[in-house]
Amino acid sequence: MSEPRRLGPAGKLARAFVVSKLTPLLALFSLFVGALALWKLPREEEPQINVPMFDVLVPFPGASAREVEERVVNVGERRLQEIPGVEYIYSTARPGLALFIVRFKVGMSPERAMTLIYTKTFSNLDQLAPGAGPPLIKPRSIDDVPVLTLTLWGGGQTGLGLRRAAAELRQEIAAVGDVAEISIMGGRRRSFLVHFDPEKIAARRLSPSDLAGMIRASNARRGSGHYDQDGKAVEVDAAGPVAPCPTCGSGAWWRTSAFPTGATPGPWTCFVCSPTPGSVWQDACAVPPVVG
């Protein structure tokens, strides 16, 4: 007969468990612990994972992409990296705009992350480059994924009309429960194009940006008091907002003087949308241009 082979460490360990009377007890204890864990541990079909993310947009009008990178992005990356809990920062420099995507560590409270990034951003506004605008912070989430896309189309409909229909549809969809966010993409927004005479605005020592500021400031309704007429108090508006043209009905006019509420103003300029997408022209019903 051959001699039995000598067992190694693994064999000796296995033989100890085979001959031991504690092995069945250890097996029963393991089954009990597994059943307890299966019963007590929380389970979700779709577990909620907190990954706070924020978009920080810093406008820098008139600056090139290189200027935005050197004067905004480099400074912003250093300051945002100082926030506790920040894991990644993705930055993009484009003409006139700097974009930072800040992602915090998994599991961090979104409320705490929002407090930290707002505090750090607005406590360093003094380090913004001259000419840069105030930063805009928009929270993002891994749940920000569109689940339904609706396309509106119709023969004979303009982009402006389709966008108005989409805005009305958005009001109806917003009333549906558990709807978080609705965005409208495409179509055409209401807008008008102002043509100016460079020589005449130069004679008035104005610039195109000054003209844009004047139009933006006038696009607001401000009450200028009232006056008595025939025993009635007539309210007066000054520089009211852009409104539909009272002559052609399809354009927009810019009020340039004070007038009684509800009355047709005197000086105004009409601008209408053209059939070609993306272009606008001044209508024939307009009086002399805004500047000139």
pLDDT higher than threshold 50 for residue 181? yes
Tens digit of pLDDT for each residue in 225-243? 777 777 777 777 665 555 5
**Which segments of the chain belong to CATH 3.30.70.1430?**
53-140
Name which of 9-23, 47-61, 73-87, 262-276 the model is least confident about: 262-276
pLDDT band, residue 66 (cuts 50/70/90): very high
pTM above 0.85, yes or no: no
pLDDT for 278: 37
Contact, 92 vs 99, CB < 8 A? Answer: yes
pLDDT higher than threshold 80 for residue 195? no
Residue 156, token pair as written in the block? 């004979």
Q: Determine the Cα–Cα distance for residues 80 and 137; give it in Å rounded to an integer.
A: 12
Name which of 33-42, 88-97, 137-146, 190-199 the model is least confident about: 190-199
Residues sharing a CB contact under 8 Å with residue 63, sequence separation 6 or more, in sequence order: 71, 72, 95, 96, 129, 131, 132
Q: Around 246, how many Cα atoms within 13 Å sit in the side-chain half-sphere?
A: 10
SS (HEC) of 143-158: CCCCCCCCCCCCCCCC
Contact, 166 vs 87, CB < 8 A? Answer: no
pLDDT for 223: 67
Q: Around 144, how many Cα atoms within 13 Å sit in the side-chain half-sphere?
A: 13
Q: Specify whether domain 53-140 bears CATH 3.40.50.300.
A: no
pLDDT for 4: 61
Of 76, 277, 90, residue with least CA distance to 191: 277
Contact, 170 vs 182, CB < 8 A? Answer: yes
